[in-house]
Amino acid sequence: MLIKLAWRNIWRHRVRSGVLFAAIAIGVWAGVFTMAFYYGMSMQRLKTAIEKEISDLQVHHADFKKDYDLQFHIPEGDTLLDFLASQQGVKAVAGRTVSRAMISAARGSAGIMANGVFPEAEDRVTGLSKKLDTGAYFSTSRRNEILISTKTAHKLKLKQGSKAVLTLITQDGHLTSGAFRVAGLFKTTNGPYDELNVFVRQPDLNRLTGMGKGVNEIAVLLESHDDPDSVLAAVRQALPDLQVEAWSEIAPELNLLYEMTDFSSYIFIAIILLGLSFGIVNTMLMSVLERTRELGMIMALGMNKVRVFFMILLETLFLVFSGVPFGLLLAFITVEYTGRFGIDLSMFSDAISGFGYDAYIYPALQGYHYLAVIIMVATAAVLSSLFPARKALMLNPAESIRG
């Protein structure tokens, strides 16, 4: 009965309720869509980082990260690679030699990270061949081929076929250098990554470093990125002397992004709801004040304060939640649509690639996001009903009826 009464009461002013209804629907839509945009963008960044750059897990010599000194490498690389590849949940494994180096050409030089890779394994783990913009992916049997990014090529005025020299410090501390021929140029959505990395074959690099057959970094790509912990634990137990890290430890800034994404979206939605709350409070307050006589009358008849409070609370909830499904539905449709076809941000692509983001954003949301929004809206509705309900409860029936 209270439910029926509350429901009918909110439709007494169709226009007024309709305006609030629309405001809530639009507010929810905007909030949810923004959340989806941001979540999609972050998850894309995370996926790109894991699948194209850092992988789920990395294995190093326990001291390697101290100063990237080449003497701290993993000598028995091959057997370790086989062991890792055989682990449950592992999709692909690649060993590499990474070394700080200087790349020099006739027109300049730059500090970079030289990655000595095994082309096939590397391609399975980070999809390196697909990053190529021009040229070929280690296709010839020639020695000393190098892949550099289009950015680096531009900076050093290099092009496919040009010669460049890599200079680095060997594992026993001598300066050495070798000449490489640019076999291809790569380009990713992550500008800093492009500027930092060059790729050569691992044996070519190891001839310079003097590391023999060793590698100093093993990247492990997992079947699923959701739960690296079980694989991590197994690998850690099997390799107690090595440093085994998950992506969240390798790139703490990505982990922060991952953890902050939802949190900042919720704050954004809370701000929208705060704005909407003023509208809700205002509408309910008007509705209470214009019903002074009626509310006084039903209180005189014997409707107690708890019931009056619940009636106002229900009215607020009905008012708010008649707009919410539309907002959510609208958001769901837009998220699904843009999530499939993407939003083209290529006109800003230089700016966003500086942060490692793709030019196409695919908004995405999980079920729990929708649930969280519903809970937040309900909370806002309950809080917004308190003030109008208090006003109603403070009415003196005798005075109200006199008018």
Partner 1 sequence: METVISTKNLFRTYNPDTIPVHAVNDVSITFGRGEFTAIVGPSGSGKTTLLNLIGGLDTPTSGSVEVNGTDVSHLKANKLIDFRLHNIGFVFQSYNLIPVLTAFENTGFIMLLQKASKEEREKRVMDLLEQVGLGDKAGSRPRELSGGQQQRVAVARALASRPQFVLADEPTANLDSVAASNLLDIMEKLNREEHVTFLFSTHDQRVIDRAYRVVTLEDGKVIRDENKRNG
Footprint on this chain of partner 1 (rule: CB under 8 A): 1, 4-5, 8-9, 12, 293-294, 297-305, 307, 397-398, 401-403
Q: Cβ 293 to partner 1, closest distance in Å? A: 4
Q: Cβ 17 to partner 1, closest distance in Å? A: 13
- Supply 10's token pair: 């909110």
Q: Cβ 321 to partner 1, closest distance in Å? A: 19
Nearer to partner 1, 309 or 360 (CB): 309
Are the CB atoms for 140 and 169 separated by under 8 Å? Answer: no
SS3 144: coil
Nearer to partner 1, 340 or 402 (CB): 402
Long-range CB pairs of 260-267 (<8 Å, 24+ gap) are: 261/38, 261/39, 261/42, 261/43, 262/39, 262/369, 262/372, 264/38, 265/34, 265/35, 265/38, 265/39, 265/369, 266/35, 266/372, 266/376
Nearer to partner 1, 159 or 307 (CB): 307
Name every residue whose Cβ is closer than 8 Å to that of residue 316 and which is 6 or more positions away in sequence: 280, 284, 381, 382, 384, 385, 388
Q: Cβ 8 to partner 1, closest distance in Å? A: 4
SS3 32: helix
Q: Cβ 300 to partner 1, closest distance in Å? A: 6
If phi > 0 it is left, if psi is from -120 to 50 it is alpha, else beta; for residue 24 that is alpha
Q: Cβ 1 to partner 1, closest distance in Å? A: 5
Are the CB atoms for 242 and 61 separated by under 8 Å? Answer: yes
Nearer to partner 1, 157 or 305 (CB): 305
Nearer to partner 1, 88 or 304 (CB): 304
The label of the residue with tokens 């970079």 reads 112
Nearer to partner 1, 18 or 275 (CB): 18
Q: Cβ 298 to partner 1, closest distance in Å? A: 7
> What residue type is 19 in one-letter code?
V
Nearer to partner 1, 256 or 398 (CB): 398
Are the CB atoms for 46 and 258 separated by under 8 Å? Answer: yes
Nearer to partner 1, 10 or 57 (CB): 10
Name every residue whose Cβ is closer than 8 Å to that of residue 361 and which is 6 or more positions away in sequence: 37, 40, 41, 44, 338, 342, 343, 345
Q: Cβ 275 to partner 1, closest distance in Å? A: 30
DSSP string covering 300-344? HHT--HHHHHHHHHHHHHHHHHHHHHHHHHHHHHHHHHHHHH-EE
